Amino acid sequence: MGYTDADKLAVNTIRLLSADAVFHANAGHPGAPMGMAPVAHVLFNKIMRYNPKNPKWLNRDRFVLSNGHACALQYSLLHLAGYKISIDDLKAFRSLDSITPGHPEAHDTEGIEVTTGPLGQGFCNAVGLAIAQHHSSAVFNRPGFDLINNYTYCFLGDGCMMEGVASEAASLAGHLQLGNLIAIYDDNHISIDGDTNCAFTEDVVLRFKSYGWHTEIVEDGDHDLEGIEAAIKKCQAVTDKPSLIKLRTTIGYGSKLEGTGGVHGAPLKEADMKQVKAKWGFDPEKLFVVPQEVYDLYHKHSAEGAAKEQEWEQLLEKYAQEHKAEAADLKRRLSGDLPEGWEKNLPVYSPSDAAVASRKLSEILLNKVHQALPELVGGSADLTASNLTRWKDAVDFQPPSLGIGDWSGRYIRYGVREHAMGAIMNGLAAYGTILPYGGTFLNFVSYAAGAVRLSALSQVRVIWVATHDSIGLGEDGPTHQPIETLAHFRALPNCMVWRPADGNETSAAYYVALTSKHTPSIIALSRQNLPQLENSTIAHAIKGGYAVHEAEKADITLVSTGSEVGICVDAVKYLKEHHNLTARVVSIPCFEVFDAQSKEYRLSILPNGIPSLSVEAMSTMGWERYTHEQFGLNRFGASGAYKDVYKKFELTPEGISKRAVATVDFWKDVPNIRSPINRAFQQLI
């Protein structure tokens, strides 16, 4: 396979660049980069197809570093290959506002495909990238035009192997027969607590074989470049299974602490740095040294990648001549823009229309928009019949050999794997040709909180269809009734949490979620029927908050979301008849979007001078930003028919009215009542 002294020099350069970055920053993880430098060199200099001059080339091979703490390795590789990472950037490793942060972040650094950090997430992202490639190739490839055929490669370590989310994704990947996915397991037997024999002694290869993976073992990952390349090529030849290479390495190879936990997460000591450099023929006194011979080796491979892209562009040009519609669709998808006029398919409702559960409204919408949005690919965590996430003529994404679907299918059966579903959706979104959504109960989005957080941090467009959104799910009881979930995810930056109250609000939630290119969304949907509201329109709801029921000289504003908005509207009549109080009703289906409106608009919806009461069958945390008083559920729910549960907690017109009267009485003697929004604004200034 032609490995020379130049390759050995390159391996040691990668080891030392990574160690130098950690040493210079006085923080980081040198051990894994020093141990994985040989496989990294083989992959980036002999195997992978990429062009640093165009990091977004569609048919590039994808690389995911799931053990993201080892990112000094990835930054070193990107620098050598010619991506926009300079020696100065390596010197700025882990420093404020650098493009070489402490874990890889896709929106900060060219050449980083996905944001990894929490262990196991990157591996799941890689599964998503592999699914996206299979689907996209089935949709766009034609005879004579093998337009999309890239591989996804993933490095992962013992920590990723121990995380349950990786097991979920590995199981699904084996079922889906993702032959374009090759994972390389850094088997160095060390985690933060030391030798893995204290907690992790399973046979990983046997586990992955049982998942349906092809497996290879390379015993000498420290030196055997030929063996590493041969293993990767054997995996490439297996097209009906994902592949795992178990690579035995020595963490911190070359260090005095090699093979121990001491080199995992701390810089090498100065004396150790010097001895390592001297051992491999480098000047012990110098940091960040790259021999020209190594640059030449990498730039040669990068030039080969650029040439392959040129060939691909020529193929794409011919493809566009013969398959104009498909080429135009592909170009549009890569831009992130939606088809012109797609929004005309959004359902519109009037107050005279029947009451419908918002999960059903979501299903109606998906049935109307899916043909206009061919990039929309959905699924459910084994709750399809409850989430109503599958449109009528949907085809499942499945290996054709199983006879139950096709690679071009747009519906993914995730199984009972909420966390993996979330992380896989992040990978699907990162590929560039797919707009993913996934369904589960709102309560179980909490299972996937790690993936949701990375969606927001990564700035990817994914949509959670989160049904059974409150105590309104009834008989399943407190274990299934989400109380704290909305407060949790509303606190997450760059995450839109929608809780629509009717059909137009549901359409608005999807409109904003689908058109927001860099923000994930959670759409919380009811099991019980909801009435269509007066003054509800898509145009009103896309502002995140608006007045559902207006009144002159109102005594109080009732502010709510979802299924409780209709109850608040009923409370208006009760307040007038029994207490001679006039109430307004405001719906705020999405805090994030409402907060983005102008101060003038927000104060027109929640004006000064009127006391306000929030009503939501959830924790009241967060509502103090909008209302003077809060009525909700700061305890777990109860099991029973949903109407009985609502009555138990007084989430009824009578119960709301009782608290509205108390609010008016409390605030009537307080002069110059100000909206909490206005007070918060003044404090911020």
Which residues are identified as catalytic? Answer: 418
Question: How far, CA to CA in Å, does 361 sit from each of 239, 523, 563, 565?
Answer: 41, 12, 13, 16
Q: How far apart are CA 510 and CA 513, in angstroms?
A: 5
CA distance between the termini of the chain:
65
Where are the alpha helices (H) located in 432-581, listed in sequence order? Answer: 442-445, 449-458, 485-490, 503-515, 538-541, 563-579
SS3 category, 153: strand
Burial class (CB in 10 A: 0-12, 13-18, 19+), 673: middle
Q: How far apart are CA 495 and CA 518, in angstroms?
A: 10
Q: Is 187 annotated as a binding residue?
A: no
Q: How far apart are CA 359 and CA 608, in angstroms?
A: 35
Token pair, residue 196, equals 């893995």
Q: How far apart are CA 492 and CA 311, in angstroms?
A: 44
Q: Is 26 annotated as a binding residue?
A: no
Q: Is 197 annotated as a binding residue?
A: no
Q: Is 69 annotated as a binding residue?
A: yes
Q: Is 468 annotated as a binding residue?
A: yes
Q: Is 370 annotated as a binding residue?
A: no
Q: Is 478 annotated as a binding residue?
A: no
Question: Concatenated DSSP letters for 377-388?
Answer: EEEESS-HHHHT
Contact partners, residue 508, CB within 8 Å, separation at least 6: 500, 538, 540, 541, 542, 589
Q: Is 406 annotated as a binding residue?
A: no
Q: Is 29 annotated as a binding residue?
A: yes
Token pair, residue 4, equals 């020379």
Amino acid at 529: N
Q: Is 444 annotated as a binding residue?
A: yes
Q: Is 103 annotated as a binding residue?
A: no
Contact partners, residue 334, CB within 8 Å, separation at least 6: 56, 58, 432, 433
Amino acid at 260: T
Q: Is 386 annotated as a binding residue?
A: yes
Q: Is 158 annotated as a binding residue?
A: yes
Q: Is 15 annotated as a binding residue?
A: no
Q: Is 305 annotated as a binding residue?
A: no
Neighbours of 104 (CB within 10 A): 26
Q: Is 527 annotated as a binding residue?
A: yes
Neighbours of 562 (CB within 10 A): 26
| Continuous segment of H or E residues that includes residue 187 | strand 181-187
Contact partners, residue 221, CB within 8 Å, separation at least 6: 35, 36, 38, 39, 186, 187, 228, 247, 248, 249, 250
Q: Is 245 annotated as a binding residue?
A: no
> Binding site membership for substrate: which residues?
29, 264, 359, 386, 468, 476, 480, 527
> Binding site membership: which residues?
29, 69, 117-119, 158-159, 188, 190, 264, 359, 386, 444, 468, 476, 480, 527
> Binding site membership for Mg(2+): which residues?
158, 188, 190
> Binding site membership for thiamine diphosphate: which residues?
69, 117-119, 159, 188, 264, 444
